[in-house]
Amino acid sequence: MRVLIVDDSSVMRKIVSRGLRQAGFKIDEILEAGDGQKGLATQAQKKCDLILSDWNMPNMDGLTFVKELRKSGDKTPIVMVTTEGGEGKVAEAVQSGANGHIKKPFTPDTLRSTLGQFFK
């Protein structure tokens, strides 16, 4: 199981990464990308099994990242990790192909209950 974390904050990428470990998921590798563009490039090369993406990022934001990835035919589950809790935004992300949403700040319990379905 390979996970891709897309976030412009290196601190937040580490927090998400640590949270995934603490949640007890079996993960072989965690890859990181600093914006949507880099996320697309990394995913094209590495074919991760689950993607966690921030919303607000420079160069390419999370929503555009979701749209571009789906446009390319990639069906990998994408969960938005964001402070944007607005129903409209979440709905837009889901409509664009996102598979779920985690609100910051989160606990390992939250990660477990939200992401468990994506780990086999």
Positions that interact with Mg ion (CB under 5 A): 8, 54, 56-57
Please, which residue, 54 or 68, has the CB nearer to Mg ion? 54
Helix-, strand-, coil-residue percentages of the chain, each rounded to 5: 45, 20, 35
| Cβ proximity to Mg ion, 56 vs 95, nearer residue | 56
User: For residues 18 and 47, which CB has a smaller minimum distance to Mg ion in the complex?
Assistant: 18
Cβ neighbors of 95 (< 8 A, separation 6 or more) are: none
Q: How far is the CB of 92 from Mg ion (least distance, A)?
A: 17
Q: Considering beta carbons, is residue 67 or 75 the nearer one to Mg ion?
A: 67
Q: Tell me how far, at minimum, the Cβ of 43 lies from Mg ion, in Å.
A: 18
Please report the sign of the dihedral spanned by the C-alpha atoms of residue 74, residue 79, residue 84, residue 89: positive
CB of 57 to Mg ion, least distance (A): 5
Cα distance between residue 48 and residue 44, in whole Å = 9
Residue 65, classed as helix, strand or coil, is: helix
Smallest gap from Cβ 65 to Mg ion, in A, equals 12
